[in-house]
Each structure stands twice: as structure tokens, then as C-alpha cells.
Amino acid sequence: MKRILVIEREYGAGASVIAARAAQRLGWKLLDHELTAEIARLAKVSPEVCQQREERVDSWMYRLAKVFWRGSHERSAPLNDADILDADRLVCLTQQVVEQAAAAGHCVIVGRGAPYFLRNRDDTFCVFLYAPREVKFRRVRAETKNDAEAINLVDTVDQERADFIRHYFKAQWPSRHLYHAMLNTADGEEETVNTILGMMDAANKRPGADKA
């Protein structure tokens, strides 16, 4: 039985809206920005501590940490730069939070390396969302209200995510074998939610699914 929905995504593919709608329809807990809040709580993050650490963090790794922390929101990071720990500590805390959420089940998890952390679980349904560049640009432009910023985000964030996954998981991003489906969101958020939930329902009806 699939008790966990993991949504990985390209930047601008609409994952935040799709994940929220899927969680609402399933009656499951949404773990998107909530993951960030829990990681920050565990880290006991304070601006002063992070400012002390910032100069000792490799600039490339610090940048990747910010990308990893950002989540699915199409506009900005939930926390300021000063609120980010070094990437190694961030990944350890993220794994802890993701695995605890998976153990509880009945949750929708957005990104944060969840397809890799949970790859050996049979009760996880994992999808990857993508969209044409012009569709992603329109979504991000609606958030940023700035053409140049939207273009820069669409053209750079996914490469930074790929770099992060390559560094920490020694894997290609996206790793296609981890996903039950890779869906184009150009047809709309609601249509994508319908497809995801329909596929999950079909997976749960397969013989032996209740033993997973």
C-alpha cells in the first residue's frame, strides 16, 4: 500500500500547488515548507551561529545548500542566507526528518532528496514533474514580476539541484529509475493531480499491494 507520495520537480513546474492539492484530496500531511521549519528547529538555527560559520563554508557548497533548502516555492527561499547551516549538516538533518515522516506515513513530501532517501521503501509512490521552458518561465515570472530574474532562475536552479544530487548521492538528476511516473505539467495543475492520484489508486489495487 502506498502511504507516501514523493514529488520531485523541475523549478517552475508547479510542484508546490500540485503537492498541496494532492495532500488536500488525500487528507495527508503536506511536507514542503514544513520540512524546512522542522529542519531549522532540529538545527537550533540562529543568525549569529550561521554568520560565524558562513566564511568557513565553501562558496560552491554554500550555494548548493541554499538551493536544497529553497523547496518548491517559485519565488524565494523560506529562510535568509544567514539561517542556513553548512550543506553536510543540512543533508543529515533532512534525511532524519524525511525518514521520520515516511515512518509515520500518509504524507506528501516535496523534493529535499526524498526519492534518494526513501528509494528502498515499497510504500512510496514517487513522481517527477517537468514542463516546457516557456511554461516554467510564465509560472516563475508570475511570482518574481521580473523577466530577467525569472529567466535566470529557470536556467540555473535545476543545474544546481543536479550538482547537489551528484555530489551527495553520486547520481544523475533526475534518476529516472526512482520514479513511478514523469509527468508534463503543461496541461495544468489539476490535471496533473488527477493523473498522480489515479496512478496511485491503480498501484494500490494491484495484487499484493496491501502487503507493501
User: Which H or E run contains 48?
Assistant: helix 47-54
Amino acid identity, position 19? A
- Long-range pairs for 150-158: beta carbons < 8 A, 24 or more residues apart: 153/11, 153/12, 153/74, 154/11, 154/12, 157/11, 157/67, 157/70, 158/10, 158/11
For the chain, the residue count is 212
pLDDT tens digits, 75-108: 444 444 444 556 677 788 889 989 999 999 999 9
Lowest pLDDT segment from 95-99, 182-186, 188-192: 95-99
**The C-alpha cell that represents 167 in the structure block:** 555530489
- Omega before 78 within 30 of 0, i.e. cis: no
**The C-alpha cell that represents 40 in the structure block:** 531549522
pLDDT at 53: 39
User: What are the residues facing 181 on neighbouring strands?
Assistant: 127
Q: Please calculate the CA angle 44-39-165 and round it to the nearest 5 degrees.
A: 130
Question: Residues with Cβ < 8 Å from 200, sequence gap 6 or more?
Answer: 2, 5, 125
In the chain, what are the domains?
Answer: 4-202 (3.40.50.300)
The arithmetic mean of pLDDT across residues 5-24, rounded, is 95
User: What are the residues facing 5 on neighbouring strands?
Assistant: 108, 125
**The C-alpha cell that represents 174 in the structure block:** 533526475
pLDDT at 32: 86
pLDDT tens digits, 118-159: 999 999 999 999 999 999 999 999 988 999 999 999 998 888
The arithmetic mean of pLDDT across residues 44-49, rounded, is 52
pLDDT tens digits, 100-113: 999 999 999 998 88
Strands (E), 40-138: 107-110, 124-130
Which string of DSSP letters, residue by residue, matches 9-32?
A: E-TTS-HHHHHHHHHHHHT-EEES
pLDDT at 59: 59
Of 12-21, 49-58, 93-102, highest mean pLDDT: 12-21
